[in-house]
A and B are shown apart, each in its own frame.
Chain A
Amino acid sequence: MFNFAKNSNTSNFLKLYLISFFAFLFLISSVSSIVFANHIVGTYPFNGFLYMSGQKSYAGTIFVTSTNCNPAETGAYAKIKSSTTGTTQMSRWVNGIKMSQYTCTGVWNNFTDIKLNYLPNFTSLPSHGSEGGHTHAWAAGTSSSPLPNFCQANGASYPCGTISEVHINKPKWDTTSSMGRERLIIHETGHSHRLQHHCTSNSIMNDGTSVCNGGAWTSVMTYQPTDRTGINSIYP
């Protein structure tokens, strides 16, 4: 097939090179694109909001602004602190997670990490229903996109963590017991940590439905080992 007569060595060499170059280019590209095709999750590390505080001098402290400061928030924060302090699963945050009622204006400022927004018109908003609440979170900075880089503004290195706004169904809140209110705050704080619902054992992330851990809700009022393990695993 190949004429290796002296005067055609170079052209045969080139032929073989070009054939192998394009063959491998096609092969490697095809395999790589199949292997990585379904990774639609961005490579942005979803560090939680404790990451920012860990880069500054107030490790483990979260500052909250609320449109409706109330005793249930205070009670919820106390339970979060007590159930995360000195536990084996929280190796990065041995002093626990300290939630602080920073302002009651409900307005974002330079230091707030979470906003609790009690919406009186919750159920009438599009895509909303009769649920107790939900959480919207976002990454606090970017390295290349046009969206604002809050990492830089805070003198923190990228990536610096997440920020979140919790929407509370105010009409439903008004008819909920004090225990139920505390439970909701602690549960939504778990979502702010990037935890999803957990239904196979006791967890603050049980969602209260009958198919989820037998409908457990106010019977689980503190962070459980699985919750603490989840929070700790979020951080590099």
Chain B
Amino acid sequence: MNKFKKSYWKIIPLVIGFLTALIPSYFVASAISSSNTSKELRDNCTSFVSPKDVGKDTFLDTENLLVRVSWTQGDGKDVNINLPYDINGKFDGCSADAKNVLTEVKQVYDSYVRESCADFKSLIAGRKPLPVKGGEKPNIDNLKVFVSKYCK
């Protein structure tokens, strides 16, 4: 019985220590992973060299603010490089090639937003009829919320 009691006093705090360490360890690991992710993006941006005469497709991840640049190299293998996307267009620390790609992505995306805003404002103001797509018209209230939040 005494032996059991001695074990009890050793095992219980170990178990409780493990269980209570689980929650904060998640946040610590996330912080470490995020910092590694940010560093990798910055390093990619600094060292990025754009291949010539090769179509480079891009995908802007608007949630995580990064741009994936993809192309196929001479040996037929696909290459994917992630670059950080700054919504203010300040690509400090990036190579000239990276700045060119990111600037183009930003210009394309910004023109999409600008033209969409103009379209939404026209629809809200009744300057043009509501289009019908698949039997549905856009919801004016949704457009008003969007314009008030995102359109200058």
Question: Which residues of A are in contact with B by a Cβ distance under 8 Å?
Answer: 2, 4, 9, 12-14, 16-25, 28-29, 32-33, 36-44, 46, 53, 56-58, 61, 63, 107-111, 115, 125-127, 129-139, 141-150, 152-155, 162-163, 165, 191, 194, 196-197, 199, 207, 209, 211-212
Contacts and interface: CB of A to CB of B under 8 A. Distances in A.
Nearest to A147: B62
Contact of B146 (A144, A152, A212): A152
B125 interface: no
Interface string B103-114: 111001101110
Given A25-B21, A29-B25, A131-B55, A17 B145 contact: no
B72 A199 contact: yes
B63 A32 contact: no
B interface: dominant SS: helix
Contacts of A211: 74-76
Interface in B47-78: 50, 52-66, 68, 70, 72, 74-76, 78
A46 B80 CA distance: 15
Contacts of A56: 133-134, 136
Contacts of B56: 127, 134
B25 to A, nearest CB: 4
Contacts of B127: none
Contacts of A43: 63-64
A2 B65 CA distance: 53
Chain A binding surface SS class: loop
Interface residues of B, number: 78
B135 A130 contact: no
A28 B54 CA distance: 44
Instruction: Kindly list the 4 A-B residue pairs having the minimum CB-CB distance in the complex, ordered from nearest.
Output: A58-B134, A20-B17, A42-B64, A32-B29
B64 A25 contact: no
B118 to A, nearest CB: 8
